[in-house]
Structure 1
Amino acid sequence: MTSLQLYLNDKPVDLSDDSPIALTFQINDLSEVKNQQGNTSNQFKLPLTQNNRTILGFADDISIQSQTPYTTLQARIIQNGIEILPNAIAEINEVDDDTASITILSGNVDFFDALGGQIADMGDSTSQWSNYGSNLPWKAFDHTWDLENVANSQKNTGQDGWIYPIVDYGMIDPVDFTQPIDVRNQRPGFFIKKAIDLMIQSTGYTAKGSLLADPLYPLLIAQFSNGSFEHGLDYQNQPNEKGILVSNAIAQTQNHPAGNTGSAQYPQQGVIRFDSVLSDPSSFFKNNAYVPNEVISVEATVTIPKLLFHGHPNATYGSNLNINILLLDSNANVNLGSFNFNFTSGYDTRTGSGDSLRVNKTFTNSKLSISTTLSPATFEGLQVTFDFEGYTDAYFTLYEGAIFQVVPQNTNVQFGQVVQCERILPDMSQKDFLKDTFQRFGIICQTDVYTKTITFSSLTDIVNNIPIALDWSSKCINQGKQVNYQLGGYSQVNSMEYQTDANLLPLKFGWDQLTIYDQTLSAVPTDLIVSKFGPSFNRPYIGGTIAQITMIDDTSAPVTGPADFTISVAPRILVDQKLDLLTLGKSVTFIDGTNTPIQINDVISVPYFYKPDGDYNLCWCDMPGNSPTQKQPGLKNKYYTELQKILQNTKIIVRYFMLTPRDISELDLLIPIYLAQHNAYFYINKIDSWRKGQPCKVELVKLG
């Protein structure tokens, strides 16, 4: 063991001769193509020497408070002066009286471990996945959801990140294509390649490989289809600096005297005065009203600890008082909510009788709340007002301590606000998002932790590497062989699926099966791949079709204007297609109900999932093309042909090899090996328990 050196956190570790370190190397087990694998060691034991105890944070002493047992350790393994694992991680599994059990992980494990957390966490400065705010790669793509950005994004490509393609969520006229598109009913998409670039960037890796050269990859859009259009977590968690908290420090009395006709001295309605400003960090409280200078969603609350109301209790024409929260708007003011004070439930005291009867009642702890969105475009604001109804000769006294509070509601994006692009994507983990893309393209990835590079390749690439295959014939030793004719948990029928929506029929649209003609396999179908995304249908539009994602209920939506997205759907993925309007002599007008419409007459984005005249088809299965004899190849036949060949004639051979430290340090599992013993080329499915100078078992899958 003297030739083997292990470093943990750059410190040499004392090793034990009776607990050797054996290493296993793997990138993608073809028996489980839905997952990526990594390199790992056996669970070996380190003696608890004083040196090792120090390196391990005295994990054997439970009285010492140390985070070392709960964190990964940087690890390096050197054999005969050659770095076998230059940049691995080690985990403490358990500790007994004399030893600590350790496992070492490397390769793809290092990369995928750095991709923890949800996609949304990348925009959260309190999350470890943004390095607590020091790594926010999505922030550069923040933009305002407004008329100009929606209209002018039609030419956007993957480098721009975001785009507002023309998608029918339920409010685009199905027949008259000259009708303008209301951008308040459009939602953004984000290019998948750029999203993955940002994820990889956040790990410190760079990408290479055939996936980057695939012309479909940069065209894929993760189109908004979430249950709600939410802000990023930093935006949601921002301090309340755009609200107000005001009070009345002095009691105020307002009269509605007999014979009043609404004079200036005794109006029938008026404004409640708040003379004590307790909080107004953005100076939005002006002229006794809350008037913001940006689009903002708020909750406004009026709290009245004590109010005395004096008036006539007549059942039909009795005095009534309304305290209102009024929406101020340059077009027309709107009453958003009222609290009514009256005497229908009784009163406290009375004077007089008959027509001269007057009563008093004290109301306590009254509260009124409303939620709304305000826009500076029409100088919108909020104000607390009062108005009298019924018999006159009434008045009220609002005692000191009444509160008017406005609190920003930062959860949902409102038209005119800034969009944080990480929230365009579905609510899923970074790993699941990346894995879904790998499955779509049949990707096998290999991580080089030394150069911090991840290679996106495929079985086709490995087969194409046969001319540069390594000849391991001399390294193969005669210790027998095992030959298997089945690979993993495949069955005769293996489904390749998308998510389903109740409003998309047939429910299995876009699905396919990978059929293996092997009667020894189970006849019970199994799920080979289940995408996190669902398919989308098309509907007619200028130049052909556009994607349709029905999220607006047309039975309750307004005829025009913004509509609520109330229908839940599965996440959606589309192919960006640019339509040249100039050649068609057409134009598209975008509106927002307020600003001057924008007419686009050069290029618009008309995305699709599948269409007969499209350049690409995202269905797993082949689909009809433009003519009865033409087929649009599906993803299965485009990216899984080599796997199909292997599975139709599976031969898995297990043999033993003598591999040197240099063989291991230069190992590239994307390059096949050749064995003269079988006159065949093989994919290395797994190198199991390698130790210097010892035969190791290698699982090989025959190619071709």
Structure 2
Amino acid sequence: MSLILYINGEQADLPPGQVIAQTRQVNDIASLQNRQAGYTNKFSLPKTAHNVKLMEFLTLPGNTSTIPYQKTPCSLYGHTGECFVYNGWAQITDGGDSYECVIYDGIIDLYKAIENKSLGDLNLEELNHTKDIDTVITSWNPAAGKKYRYILADYNGRTGDVNPEPGSLYYPQPNVEYLVPSVNVAWLWDKIFTEHQATCTGSVFNTENFKNLWMTYPQGMITGDAPQTLFEPTEYGYDGSAAPGSNIGFYHVGYPNQSPTDVMLLNNRHIKVEQSGYYKVVVSGSFNSISAFGTHKRSKVYIGKNVPVLQPHMVPQFKLLMDEIQHQATFNAERTIYLNAQDSICIVVTKASNETSAGGFALVGNQQEFNLEFIRINQNEYDFKAALADFSIRDFVNEIVHRFGLTLFKDKYTNSYEFLTLHEILQDNAPVDWSKKFSKKISENYIYGSYAQRNWFRYNYSDKEATHSDYYLEAANANQPESRDVVKSKIYSPDRYAIKYINRDSRVYRMFEKETVENPAEGEEPVKYKALDKRYYFMRAIERNEIIVLRSPSVQDIGANDAYWAESFWKLPFEDILQDYYGPMRGILQNAQVVTAQLWLTDVDIANLDFRKLYYIEQLGSYFILNKINNYLPGRPTQCELVRIQPGLDAFEPQQPIAITKVEVQNHTVRIYFDLNVMASIVNLQVSQNGFETASNFPLGANNNPRFYDSTPPGNFSIRLQAGGYNSNSVDITIPSNTTIIP
């Protein structure tokens, strides 16, 4: 049987009878730390004239092929048309007499797209703002459409007078200068997918647990510092070099006759900083870039870091400023970077990434124009692009995947991803019967993967000895190691003990460090505050309909509002997360049974494989999650790894903040039963006839369960409950009627 391989849209030459072993997986349950892609074993690709051309003459003397360094699209089909891989990735290396190739597909598309990118690479312009009282209040108004919010909490700074005496005529007066904005996680998540031309679906993204999740700006900021341009040279020069035997020039941008006072210049081209922090590099200009034949060449500009003794062609790219700049076209670019004290940077110009090497590359004549502004980021202005530059997109995606126990499934033909919880997979109502494909059982294991008896999920902490928000998945098997960390979050946990903030118990999210001054001089503050950075916290926002007064002492400003949003750490300790989203995994680990079996699979089975399904095998008497298919080859039994599903595993279901469990309607009287799993003293009943575009609200104490409601006008209505900023499920009722509804 023959296989058909396409590389870059053209059919490649394969030897007759070529076989390619395929491994299929999406989420190896043996490892919670990562998610996996499908792949083939390494196979040979003969160096026929056609294949050599496809490889851009790779391995031939003088070749300039970029195939080994870039995404090489490929598709693999069976001889009868079954599609095994559509638009996957081919990794090509030299095998001597032939090329060697490995094909990857599945979620590798997503992880490759976000590889080496940070959240700061996203377009976050609508988050950037200057903090003042009006900005804080505007962020509290959902109608304003802000994707950030100032959530009132103790950030360990100057809180202000937030706890007036009970019965006092004064309202709480937080100091806005020590508040920190938070970005909505759901918005940030959507940004990642839309900017990478991908879509994602999943019921978990419609839950309050996801939609009401916020991540703090990672730096405390102290009002007072103004933005500062550290270096803006008035003269520029260029000195170039090329690798031996190459005519592709690389050029340092130099700054002759300059004597900056706020930075140090090394060799007139390397800018050295004295302080750690975020810096912005702003460049503009145009280049007269040509080949040895006089043809126009496109160019790129990038930043090198800590390379003051290297020639230009040896300087590795630290950050790209701009690529594909047309000959003598005006360009403008900027990049925010984090530098440690004593770091240095330089600017390098060379040919564009996708420009041909033919004829080399050179900057010629006096027709170059270049401008540079080197700026220290204003600490009073919230630049999310700069602040999030050290949080990789991959780490952020993994944070969400781990917190909600998600598995990714990529659509074969589109850039669409479905995210399912393990509970949703176990709810499969149409399992696949593979009994007729069963050949034999190879083994049955009871110690699974690299798990221990206690498998810890851990936060970061300001106090490095703290563990109060950590928790573990337990595997009751004395033959496994005692303990192991399986997830180490980049997110910080708030302090263990709550304090009074706005006369309520509140967590402390340390964005500032307090330093007590011993024997302060007259007029000196007894406590000094130092801003901390790289502190990412997750929290929830709970609306409080109470009057609040905001103060900004440094500008002597004051403002008031009749509502605000306060912090909540509800359902964010790992104990709650594991209870809500890892119940099925806990059940799997308690009585782990992993069966390795040989199955007679076909090309059709592999092409249409669905890891979202449960699989039933009569000879083994159980339903299974298909964990992995190892080295499929047609016409041979294939070794498959199957995780046995214990009875009752599908009963695990995440707990909702507030849920209507039963509604009884008797004529015009409605009795509403509900579960309340969030701290709230008031439960609000909403009644609507237009899908909650408008609704009548009826607040009442949370202890009134069941809740009674009498309606005089007849009709069809929707009802739901609200508590602590969360909405329950909606239930449709008809008045009058005599019905009992179990949602």
Tell me the TM-score normalised to structure 1 length: 0.65
Q: Secondary structure at 2:515's aligned position in 1? A: coil
Which residue of 511, 516, 519 corresponds with 2:470?
Answer: 511
Partner of 2:623: 681
Q: Secondary structure at 2:390's aligned position in 1? A: coil
Residue type matched to 2:56 in 1? G
Per-residue CA deviations over 1:406-433 (Å, capped at 9, x if unaligned) read x976333333x4x333345472211111
1:149 aligns with 2:110: no
Per-residue CA deviations over 1:269-289 (Å, capped at 9, x if unaligned) read xxxxxxxxxxxxxxxxxxxxx
1:48 aligns with 2:47: yes
Once the 2 structures are TM-superposed, how far is the Cα of residue 142 of structure 1 from its aligned partner? 3.1
Residue type matched to 1:180 in 2? Q
Partner of 1:34: 33
Question: Hey, what's the Cα distance between the residues in 2 that align with 1:434 and 1:10?
Answer: 31
Partner of 1:71: 70
Greater Rg over alpha carbons, structure = 1
Whether the 8 Å CA contact 1:536–1:608 is kept in 2: the answer is no
Q: Residues 12 and 229 of structure 1: is their aligned pair in 2 closer, same or farther, counting only changes over 3 Å?
A: farther
Per-residue CA deviations over 1:334-384 (Å, capped at 9, x if unaligned) read xxxxxxxxxxxxxxxxxxxxxxxxxxxxxxxxxxxxxxxxxxxxxxxxxxx
Unaligned runs of 5+ in 1: 124-136, 231-235, 246-296, 300-406, 610-615, 622-633
Whether the 8 Å CA contact 1:155–1:578 is kept in 2: the answer is no
Q: Secondary structure at 2:208's aligned position in 1? A: coil
Alignment of 1:232-251 (within 5 A): none
Question: Hey, what's the Cα distance between the residues in 2 that align with 1:649 and 1:559?
Answer: 64
Question: Hey, what's the Cα distance between the residues in 2 that align with 1:176 and 1:409?
Answer: 44
Once the 2 structures are TM-superposed, how far is the Cα of residue 588 of structure 1 from its aligned partner? 2.8
Which residue of 447, 454, 462 corresponds with 2:417?
Answer: 454
Once the 2 structures are TM-superposed, how far is the Cα of residue 144 of structure 1 from its aligned partner? 3.2
Which residue of 438, 452, 465 corresponds with 1:491?
Answer: 452
Per-residue CA deviations over 1:453-496 (Å, capped at 9, x if unaligned) read 1111121111111x2111111222x2443211121011112222
Partner of 1:205: 198
Per-residue CA deviations over 1:472-525 (Å, capped at 9, x if unaligned) read 11222x2443211121011112222111222x8x711111122221122123x1
Which residue of 415, 421, 434 corresponds with 2:397?
Answer: 434
1:196 aligns with 2:189: yes
Q: Secondary structure at 1:486's aligned position in 2? A: coil
Partner of 2:19: 20
1:181 aligns with 2:180: no
Question: Hey, what's the Cα distance between the residues in 1 that align with 2:437 and 2:591?
Answer: 26
Question: Hey, what's the Cα distance between the residues in 2 that align with 1:546 and 1:165?
Answer: 12
Q: Secondary structure at 1:468's aligned position in 2? A: coil
Question: Hey, what's the Cα distance between the residues in 2 that align with 1:73 and 1:408?
Answer: 38
Q: Secondary structure at 2:595's aligned position in 1? A: strand
More displaced stretch, 220-229 vs 485-494: 220-229
Q: Residues 216 and 119 of structure 1: is their aligned pair in 2 closer, same or farther, counting only changes over 3 Å?
A: same
Q: Residues 471 and 239 of structure 1: is their aligned pair in 2 closer, same or farther, counting only changes over 3 Å?
A: farther
Residue type matched to 1:182 in 2? N
Whether the 8 Å CA contact 2:455–2:484 is kept in 1: the answer is yes
Question: Hey, what's the Cα distance between the residues in 2 that align with 1:571 and 1:580?
Answer: 27
Once the 2 structures are TM-superposed, how far is the Cα of residue 43 of structure 1 from its aligned partner? 0.6
Q: Secondary structure at 1:531's aligned position in 2? A: strand
Q: Residues 445 and 559 of structure 1: is their aligned pair in 2 closer, same or farther, counting only changes over 3 Å?
A: farther
Question: Hey, what's the Cα distance between the residues in 2 that align with 1:168 and 1:73?
Answer: 51
Q: Residues 652 and 211 of structure 1: is their aligned pair in 2 closer, same or farther, counting only changes over 3 Å?
A: same
Question: Hey, what's the Cα distance between the residues in 2 that align with 1:482 and 1:157?
Answer: 59
Q: Residues 18 and 171 of structure 1: is their aligned pair in 2 closer, same or farther, counting only changes over 3 Å?
A: same
Q: Higher strand proportion, which one?
A: 2
Partner of 2:150: 164
Question: Hey, what's the Cα distance between the residues in 2 that align with 1:469 and 1:552?
Answer: 54
Q: Residues 157 and 64 of structure 1: is their aligned pair in 2 closer, same or farther, counting only changes over 3 Å?
A: farther
Residue type matched to 1:573 in 2? F
Partner of 1:534: 492
Whether the 8 Å CA contact 1:533–1:570 is kept in 2: the answer is yes
Tell me the TM-score normalised to structure 2 length: 0.62
Residue type matched to 2:427 in 1? N
Once the 2 structures are TM-superposed, how far is the Cα of residue 226 of structure 1 from its aligned partner? 3.4
Q: Residues 38 and 205 of structure 1: is their aligned pair in 2 closer, same or farther, counting only changes over 3 Å?
A: same
Once the 2 structures are TM-superposed, how far is the Cα of residue 664 of structure 1 from its aligned partner? 2.4
Partner of 1:9: 8
Unaligned runs of 5+ in 2: 165-170, 236-277, 281-371, 518-522, 647-743
Partner of 2:408: 445
Partner of 2:432: 470
Alignment of 1:314-333 (within 5 A): none
Partner of 2:559: 598
Residue type matched to 1:652 in 2? V
Question: Hey, what's the Cα distance between the residues in 2 that align with 1:188 and 1:488?
Answer: 41
Question: Hey, what's the Cα distance between the residues in 1 that align with 2:144 and 2:58?
Answer: 48
Q: Secondary structure at 1:701's aligned position in 2? A: strand
Residue type matched to 2:158 in 1? M
Whether the 8 Å CA contact 2:176–2:550 is kept in 1: the answer is no
| Number of aligned residues | 497
Question: Hey, what's the Cα distance between the residues in 1 that align with 2:229 and 2:101?
Answer: 42
Q: Secondary structure at 2:512's aligned position in 1? A: coil
Question: Hey, what's the Cα distance between the residues in 1 that align with 2:106 and 2:116?
Answer: 20
Question: Hey, what's the Cα distance between the residues in 2 that align with 1:552 and 1:149?
Answer: 21
Partner of 2:90: 90
Whether the 8 Å CA contact 1:440–1:635 is kept in 2: the answer is yes
Once the 2 structures are TM-superposed, how far is the Cα of residue 18 of structure 1 from its aligned partner? 6.3
Question: Hey, what's the Cα distance between the residues in 1 that align with 2:373 and 2:60?
Answer: 50
Question: Hey, what's the Cα distance between the residues in 1 that align with 2:40 and 2:392?
Answer: 27
Q: Secondary structure at 2:391's aligned position in 1? A: coil
Whether the 8 Å CA contact 2:441–2:595 is kept in 1: the answer is no
Q: Secondary structure at 1:116's aligned position in 2? A: coil
Per-residue CA deviations over 1:310-339 (Å, capped at 9, x if unaligned) read xxxxxxxxxxxxxxxxxxxxxxxxxxxxxx
Partner of 1:617: 571
Whether the 8 Å CA contact 2:219–2:533 is kept in 1: the answer is yes
Partner of 1:636: 578
Question: Hey, what's the Cα distance between the residues in 1 that align with 2:98 and 2:228?
Answer: 46
Partner of 1:317: none
Q: Residues 38 and 180 of structure 1: is their aligned pair in 2 closer, same or farther, counting only changes over 3 Å?
A: same
Q: Residues 568 and 74 of structure 1: is their aligned pair in 2 closer, same or farther, counting only changes over 3 Å?
A: closer
Which residue of 548, 553, 577 corresponds with 2:508?
Answer: 548
Residue type matched to 2:81 in 1? G
Per-residue CA deviations over 1:151-199 (Å, capped at 9, x if unaligned) read 2212349963211211322211376344533322222111112111111
Once the 2 structures are TM-superposed, how far is the Cα of residue 675 of structure 1 from its aligned partner? 1.1
1:573 aligns with 2:559: no
Q: Secondary structure at 2:375's aligned position in 1? A: coil
Per-residue CA deviations over 1:655-693 (Å, capped at 9, x if unaligned) read 222333332232221111111112211111001112333
Partner of 2:614: 672
Question: Hey, what's the Cα distance between the residues in 1 that align with 2:230 and 2:9?
Answer: 42
Q: Secondary structure at 2:568's aligned position in 1? A: coil
Alignment of 1:637-656 (within 5 A): 637-656=579-598
Whether the 8 Å CA contact 2:151–2:181 is kept in 1: the answer is yes
Once the 2 structures are TM-superposed, how far is the Cα of residue 147 of structure 1 from its aligned partner? 2.5
